[in-house]
Structure 1
Amino acid sequence: MEPPPAASGGLSAADRNRLQQVFLRAKKCLERADYAYAHDLFSQCVAEDPGSLIYLQHFRANLAQMHPKTAAAKHSAFSGLPGFGGGRAAVSKLADKGNWREAFTAGCKALKKSPGDVGVIAELGGAAGELGHSDCQLYYLRWALDLSPTDLDVNRQAAAALEKIGEFDQAIGCWLRVQQQKPGDEEASRAISRLSVEKTIDRGGYNPQLLKGAGDVAMPHTGRVAEASARRKYDSPDAEREEQPAEPPQAALTEEELRAAIDANPADPAAYVQLAEMFSSAGRLHDAERLYKKALHVAGGGDLELLEKLEEVYLNRKRDTARVAEQRAQRQQSPAAQKLAEQAQREANLAEVEVFSARAERTPGDPRVQFDFAIRLKRVGNFREAVKPFQAARADKKRAAEAELHLGECFQHIEQHRLAMRSYEAAIAICGEGEWTDLRKLALYRAGVLAMGLKDLDAAEKYLTDLASADFGYRDVSARLDKLATIRKTG
């Protein structure tokens, strides 16, 4: 059994590029209404990278086009039909064995025939949660609740998932729906009481409406501020002020007014951007991300500034989730909470790899972007893949020494010791004689320690002595010099 790359610590660059090509073909199929083939292609993306929210969103959007009536229907209309239920059992059986890719493949196949099967959707959500993909887990559960808002099992599952990421208000909401359907349920009562105590924890940036059905969300009034929106063109925000310098500054629009502006002119990205910025400032990062995506779409998809705003809010959401999990782990001091915190941090790190990989592909000639990408690869332990972008980053003279130092550490991790030594020596040379920066000290230390490991005692003594002459208390440099002296005496 071979787990999907995402379950093993992230996709390789080759797999990521291959899947991206599959995804682009799927989007073209969706655009020309070839929904069945698009479903198969999107299914491949979801199965091989179950942590990609973008792949999952497109998978669901295509499925809604294949079965428009089912997309708007409730689960109760389908639950009694033949064929429903078997798909969930197949997914569950495969997931229990750890056959993750096969489980997601089976689930996607089942939904192609039975798009309203809440059981399959919830089971896929559970599998995403097992792999640590909380964003996708919540998306599956929201999807299931859109179809069946009062489903007891899905609400319980959603409550547990929300509690894990510290979204206690939303978890209470799920338990309240259970209580409404099953008055006197002791589990629901206990959970509501317990979670009420936790409500003071900082929020992690998740949309409070995340797991509510569409019917639960109040819709704004429309058509009130079309002229105000038209004056705030995204492509020229200062144009109006230049033409009419005497006009007093306009008050910031409210959320309701911005929603009305979007309804009045859905092809103008300005209001989407302003509302996204408002949500981002308020910590509603899921909403902000959704609006930046829409703004990017209506702007034609080629606006790099918008794309980077979208990427940043996505990363901030991941970082906030990791922060909340870490705070909870520190408070609870339990192995389970610590494991969740580590998982959230790992997911945040992988999200950074994903984003900076895309940026590096967009600007292959920018050494600063290559450096940022390489740092993220190194952080998640992809030392071999980090070598190439670190080498490209050396073109930035201001960071050349730092890039060489990181490069040496990567080479050392993959046991290319001679190459590692060359990089450490290059870092030392770039820093220059007499410049006792922290970077030069670390490069001397790394070179000395590596030389000891390679049994090159002369080189080890030279580097460590140079370091000790400037900072005798640096790490364990004095002890290493003593050890070198002992080796020479006894050798």
Structure 2
Amino acid sequence: MTSDKNKKIAADCWRRGNEALAKENWDYSIDMFTTAVKLEPEALLYRQTKRGAERKKYGDNNSGSKMGVLKITGLKTKIKNSRRKKDWVSVDQYAEEGLSINPWDPGLNAEMAEACKNLGYEDSAIFGYKMAIENDKTNKGYYTDLGLLLEEKGEFKQARECWEMALKLDPVDGDARSKVTALMATETRVRGGYEGAENSSGAKKGQSAYDEGRATREQRQQAQKGNAPDGPGQSLEADLQRAIRKEPENKDHYLRMADFYRREGKLPEAKENYEKAFELSGKDANIGEQIEDIELEKLREQLVKAREQFNADRENAEAKKQLTLISKALIKREIDVMSRRVERYPADLRIKFELAQRFIRLKKWGQAISLLQQSVKDTRISSEALVALGKCFYAEKKKELAKRQFEKALPSLSPDDKPDIYKEAHYLLGRLYQESGEKDKAADHYSEILAVDYDYKDVKDRLEGL
């Protein structure tokens, strides 16, 4: 949190910057705004004013300084190193330094946004991603990152629009498609909550529909016990129940109720309302998927509880039996659900990858291989899919094919971004070379692992035994 002293100095710098800006003294004004941002980084106004001055300095040429390319390259290297250390303050400051040279650079705007997001400066993060998108409308990641931030802020319509743009850029992205559907449902729920509050007691200006329409969990519990009034607008649950009684054939009321119960963790009640909406909709497949997701959530909850009971007493045979039964039931249901979705969304390679992972857990290598060979075409998951494919070939004793997959995957893997997959690929390649008597190559791969994780599996023993 910025101290009062720093806030005062920052405000003074901002004032001086504005005075210089009025005189078109661009360099001094930018220096003052930069100091203000450093002293009070959470203040969005200072960043906005700085960016405006930077644009004016370069005559709105959309490219910044023609002589600053090398300096920006150096700053981006510093940003990369700072990000690896999760030094977000440095990432922010280096990005702002770069934006003083080229305020239109989408990558630098996004770096600033990511740093602010991690530092808790939400408004500045949103501003950064919007600037990045303004200058690069083809980067799906900018839309998804901005969409997540807007959703956290309760800006559901804007968040949905971001995810719609992401889906437009990548039509086979199942996650983006699901997010659009979920946000549409949330918008409907929030709009319904707002209208209920407005019609009954008058909505307060300045509050979001979500805030106005919902009551706290404690208020609802008190209302159920008769300790608090439960009239219109005071309990979203009660408002939705009234809406259902008024229009029992309106599926949207049941969807809002199901969504409400799901957020509250009341999965049986959520499932019951989704099922009612499913019937009223004429068995809409999208609602059917919500029911399937609830069933999977329930099984996962049961698995967590069963694992906790088993860990509390590992000698308990009944607890072990229950853990095994629930684990098998979950993976069987996941395979059933994902297989149907593969049929429904044949172009969605991510679902095929997830289904392949379930087959791997059951050691059904052949079924997994077929799905993974398709999944590698998705550049977002190609490295993970190649490593998984290599594991399957290794298990099938097709060692040369396994080697080829790991070798294809490694150039795209980093110990910073995907440490577990990176280490696993090197480990299995080391094993393969060790088994074929190529000790130097095996040693190279084992050494790569020890450089980032000295205690990984039995790597030290294997390296010493070569």
With structure 1 as the length reference, what TM-score do the two structures score?
Answer: 0.44
Higher RCO (C-alpha 8 Å, min separation 6): 1
With structure 2 as the length reference, what TM-score do the two structures score?
Answer: 0.46
